[in-house]
Amino acid sequence: MFFRVKTVGSNSYVQVVESYRDEGRPRQRVLLTLGSLDELRESGHLDSLLASGSRLSETMLVLTAHQRGDLESTPSRRLGSVLVFERLWEQSGCREVVERLVDGRKFGFSMERAVFFTVLHRLLTSGSDRAALGTWQEDYEIEGIDSLQLHQLYRAMAFLGEELPEDEQAGATPFSPRCVKDQVEEALYRRHQDLFSGLELVFFDTTSIYFEGEGGETLGQHGHSKDHRPDLPQMVVGIALDVAGRPLCCEMWPGNTTDVKTLVPVIERMRSKFRVGEICVMADRGMVSESTITALEAMEPPVHYILGVRMRRQKEVGEVVLKSRKPWKEITPERELSKDPAPLKVK
């Protein structure tokens, strides 16, 4: 049963209606008409009727007591997503690696918990460390983070970016020194490596992140902005993935570093720190330049590479591919022509 308001002309009436089935078909019948909706509201009879009926319902008794303030409110905290990421954090080895790197250092707080807290916040909300504390922190049940303060989260980020001693700078890119973050990446890779595993194909790409306010004092430079904000200082971020899509490492460079200058240093780091033998690099056309190809060709042992280029604008493509006697064919990916009258053609 339920209440229904029926309008007749300019008047509205409250009815008690029952739903039932007649020969398998849903039907409704009016059990009682309580009267005019306006009169019931003005007299308070509707409220008293509902309150009288709510005493017979355990659920409504609890809600009514809560509205009157008779019940003490207990704040709820989210747990599901924390359990998932906590398990991934442990299974991936992140917890073990961070704890090993901070072993013997007296920070005065759990550095591993601070790093996990900032990582979890970025995964779920993508906000600043300051935004993580307070309401967001109170909404989630996260072990070992109740006593963390803002300056400790800043120290955790500074720890990951801490520059390594001079005798551990071998393999650093020419744009930035090696830091603790590099040790974390290399330790995670070694942890999942076995006798038969290796890197045969690596995907690499870059993007730009711009700074607002007073950010970017160290890496912030003006350069080609992929965010269409050339007016702001930026930094370049590159990431390398294996063939399964797992991240191997990320690199951060000044914002005026061009893509063509980043590929070779990443390959050199792959070989020196990830102990890669034979490697094939796949990158887009932003990585292509005559000097880059020359450097790749001169590497020992040889490096295989797949670089995307514009078919008609790259002279080498016209000379080597289009005029080649070896068979090649044009592939047109399936697309709805109504939405895209000029589908991409791939050779």
User: Which is more confidently placed, 59 or 290?
Assistant: 290
Helix residue spans in 13-79 (DSSP H): 37-43, 45-54, 58-68
Percent above pLDDT 90 for the chain: 17
- The model's pLDDT over 217-229, given as tens digits with 9 standing for 90+, comes to 878 898 888 888 8
Provide mean pLDDT across the span 94-112.
Answer: 92
Percent of the chain at pLDDT exceeding 70: 80
Residue 61 banded pLDDT, cuts 50, 70, 90: low
* Chain mean pLDDT for the chain: 81
Conformation bin of residue 9: beta by default, left when phi > 0, alpha when psi is -120 to 50: left
Place 285 in a pLDDT band, splitting at 50, 70 and 90: confident
Neighbours of 265 (CB within 10 A): 19
Mean pLDDT of 288-302: 79
- Under the banding of pLDDT at 50, 70 and 90, the label for residue 347 is very low
Q: What is the mean pLDDT of residues 112-120?
A: 92
Instruction: Please tell me the predicted confidence (pLDDT) of residue 117.
Output: 92
- Cα distances (angstroms) measured from residue 210 to each of 9, 53, 205, 229, 262: 63, 61, 17, 7, 18
298-327 pLDDT, tens digit per residue, is 888 788 888 777 666 666 666 666 666 666
Domains and CATH numbers, the chain: 2-68 (no CATH), 80-160 (no CATH), 166-308 (3.30.420)
> CB-hemisphere CA count at 13 Å for 200?
4
pLDDT grade for 158, boundaries at 50, 70 and 90: very high
Answer whether residue 169 shows pLDDT above 50. Answer: yes
pLDDT at 253 over 60: yes
